[in-house]
């Protein structure tokens, strides 16, 4: 079966032929490739193509595909039973590991996805503060729960949807939206509504409108304003957690949020999410607190094994140093291309994560991101495919470098950009 044939079958039985919208290639055009397997930095399609993967399943695969130690641990865990609906030692170990690694984690609740982590974090913030409203940022994506689907990034942005249908006005009314990197907007929301706001939720480095870094004092300002007004600060670290070091971005930038949400890397490629923070807040969760949250497969032993094995490798090895070096080489190479020098694209990057923005100006928020030339990005996407390179099928996502990428593959990426003509 080819990708084309599978797409026809998929479209008959799966809405849009995909189980998550950005897989549909709507913004770049063409038929989504169907993947047969992955190994290290490579994707193998059902059509027999071999591609160097800079999408990394949207973030979890910091070690690359099918990392032998992770696969072996998963096999052993699976042989011992897939799920019990009762607590296992590995869950305790995972929570202890996270609390040991992150100074401001006292308790951890494991869930099944980043969406679930953020949804629960907001409910917890509302229950803890006894307030009903939240503040999010334009272009930040926190999963697809109702109150977070207003002005969200990622697939909504790719599909030019401001907020999803099927969400009641009441829910939308409870979500304030501010431009990313704009503290004045936050000040003015709090001026009017300070006593109603339960939490600000933010991606400390935004990864769902392309890579957009926090400007100086932005995160510090959010911490000060929330503290002053008795609201909680939630860092959505589903992408950034364990991405830039064996820790959270909050730890690296020395800002302590009240609740942190994790996902992607902490599952090592299997479905997982987590929320964590200080015990007085976390203990509001059921069964000891009155904020309800539950999950048949939460803390699934196979997923936790994949995640914990990955985290231990990240803690003990030199993965971050390897990725840092490769990023340096990549960025220096890209900056040496005529395409960059001629201003065709700008590079936004932070160790191992980068976006090539087809934009004349630098991108600090969603309005800036929207100025990108998405047609040029689509052309780049297809050009890179012809060179055996796979990047996310949307301008508003990030590329990831994993520990599995070789210097040769980094140079191939640079050469492919150097050959790109509009
Ligand atoms: C920052 C961020 N938060 C939350 C999510 C949702 O996570 P999941 O897709 O696991 O539900 C994503 C997904 O891409 C994300 O990038």
Check residues 349 and 149 and name the one with the higher pLDDT.
349
**Domain for residue 420, yes or no?**
no
Q: Find the 337 Cα to ligand 1 centroid distance in Å.
A: 33
In a domain, 34, yes or no: no
pLDDT band (50, 70, 90) for residue 172:
confident
Predicted local confidence at residue 162, as pLDDT: 64
Average pLDDT, the chain: 96
- Give yes or no: 126 in active site: no
Q: Which of 124-128, 148-152, 265-269, 390-394 has the lowest mean pLDDT?
A: 148-152
Identify the residue whose C-alpha is closest to ligand 1 atom 7. Answer: 114
Q: Does residue 105 form part of some domain?
A: yes
In a domain, 140, yes or no: yes
- Whole-number pLDDT of residue 317: 85
Give tens-digit pLDDT for 55-77. Answer: 999 999 999 999 999 999 999 99
Q: What is the mean pLDDT of residues 254-258?
A: 98
The residue contributing the CA closest to ligand 1 atom 16 is 239
Per-residue pLDDT of 258-312, as tens digits, reads 999 999 999 999 999 999 999 999 999 999 999 999 999 999 999 999 999 999 9
**What is the reported pTM?**
0.97
pLDDT band of residue 149 (cuts 50, 70, 90) is confident
Which residue segment(s) compose the domain that 165 sits in? Answer: 68-315
User: What is the count of structural domains for the chain?
Assistant: 1
Closest atom of ligand 1 relative to the 240 alpha carbon: 1
pLDDT at 171 over 90: no
- Using the CB atoms, write b or e for 5-16: b if 16+ within 10 Å: ebbeebeeeeee
CA of 411 to the centre of ligand 1 (A): 30
CA 48 – ligand 1 centroid, Å:
30
Q: What is the CATH number of the domain that holds 134?
A: 3.40.640.10
* Alpha carbon of 67 to ligand 1 centroid (Å): 22
Catalytic residue among 141, 320, 377, 390: 141
Ligand 1 shell residues, CB under 6 Å:
58, 113-115, 118, 141-143, 154, 203, 207-208, 236, 238-239, 263, 273
Q: Is the pLDDT of residue 411 over 90?
A: yes
Asked if pLDDT for residue 345 goes beyond 80, the answer is yes
Q: Is 390 a catalytic residue?
A: no
Q: Is residue 295 part of a domain?
A: yes
User: Is 74 within a domain?
Assistant: yes
Catalytic residue among 138, 146, 236, 258: 236
């Amino acid at each position: 079966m080819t990708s084309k044939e599978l797409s026809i079958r998929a479209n008959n039985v799966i809405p849009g032929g995909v189980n998550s919208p950005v897989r549909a290639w709507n913004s770049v055009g063409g038929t989504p490739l169907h993947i047969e397997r992955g190994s290290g930095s490579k994707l193998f399609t059902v059509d027999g193509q071999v591609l160097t993967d800079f999408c990394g399943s949207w973030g979890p695969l910091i070690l690359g595909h099918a990392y032998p130690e992770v696969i072996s641990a998963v096999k052993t865990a699976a042989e011992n039973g897939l799920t019990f609906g009762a607590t296992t030692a590995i869950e305790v170990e995972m929570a202890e590991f996270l609390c040991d690694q992150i100074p401001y984690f006292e308790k951890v609740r494991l869930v099944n996805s980043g969406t679930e982590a953020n949804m629960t974090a907001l409910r917890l913030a509302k229950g803890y503060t006894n307030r009903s409203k939240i503040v999010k940022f334009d272009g930040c994506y926190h999963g697809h729960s109702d109150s977070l689907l207003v002005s969200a990034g990622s697939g909504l942005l790719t599909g030019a949807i401001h907020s999803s249908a099927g969400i009641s006005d009441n829910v939308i009314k409870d979500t304030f939206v501010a431009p990313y990197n704009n503290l004045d907007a936050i000040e003015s929301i709090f001026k009017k509504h300070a006593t109603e706001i339960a939490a600000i939720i933010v991606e400390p480095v935004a990864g769902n409108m392309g890579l957009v870094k926090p400007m100086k004092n932005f995160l510090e300002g959010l911490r000060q304003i929330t503290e002053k007004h008795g609201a909680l600060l939630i860092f959505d670290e589903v992408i950034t957690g364990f991405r830039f070091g064996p820790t959270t971005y909050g730890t690296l930038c020395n800002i302590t949020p009240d609740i942190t949400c994790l996902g992607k890397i902490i599952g090592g490629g299997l479905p997982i999410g987590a929320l964590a923070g200080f015990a007085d807040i976390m203990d509001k969760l059921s069964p000891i607190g009155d904020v309800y949250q539950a999950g048949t497969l939460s803390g699934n032993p196979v997923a936790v094994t994949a995640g914990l094995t990955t985290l231990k490798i990240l803690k003990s090895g030199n993965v971050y140093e390897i990725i840092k070096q490769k990023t340096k080489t990549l960025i220096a190479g890209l900056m040496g291309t005529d395409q960059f020098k001629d201003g065709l694209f700008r590079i936004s990057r932070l160790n191992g994560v980068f976006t090539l923005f087809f934009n004349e100006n630098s991108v600090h928020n969603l309005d800036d991101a929207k100025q990108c030339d998405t047609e040029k990005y689509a052309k780049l996407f297809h050009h890179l495919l012809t060179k055996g390179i796979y990047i996310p099928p949307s301008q508003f996502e990030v590329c990831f470098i994993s520990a599995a990428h070789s210097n040769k593959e980094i140079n191939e990426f640079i050469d492919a950009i150097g050959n790109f003509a509009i």
